[in-house]
Amino acid sequence: MWRSWKRAEADVKEGRIVKLTTPDGSISIYLYVASERGRHNDHVINGKHCDCESFLFNHVLKEGEPCVHIKAFLKATEGENYVKLVLSKTELKEILTEIYVYGKSLKLRKLLSS
């Protein structure tokens, strides 16, 4: 348990929690951005839910602790220590579509690197 909180802290320092918001504020979504290498995916998160397998199998079905993605979200939102991007609804839709189809969003990575 302690190790996963340490990893969550490291993820926050690396800027892996990103808040996407539309200009009018009608949509706000938090994402966990996975590292470039490896098999891990980006995830849609909030304080109570994550779309990863670990959340479903370990937290929901076994009633264990939350996944590291939620822990990173909680750490990041404590002090508003996350990346903020304001995007059109079209851009937001493109990013979410890439995440659900490919597991990662290249469009998001381009925006974060610019």
Q: For residue range 25-60, what is the model confidence (pLDDT) as tens digits?
A: 999 999 999 987 777 899 999 878 898 888 777 766
- pLDDT computed for residue 65 by the predictor: 79
**Is the pLDDT confidence value at 97 over 80?**
yes
- pLDDT computed for residue 9 by the predictor: 92
Please give the model's pTM, rounded to 2 decimal places. 0.88
Owner of token pair 């938090």? 30
- Of 16, 36, 25, the closest CA to residue 77 belongs to 16
Which residues fall within 8 angstroms of residue 52, CB to CB, at 6 or more apart? Answer: 41, 43, 67, 69
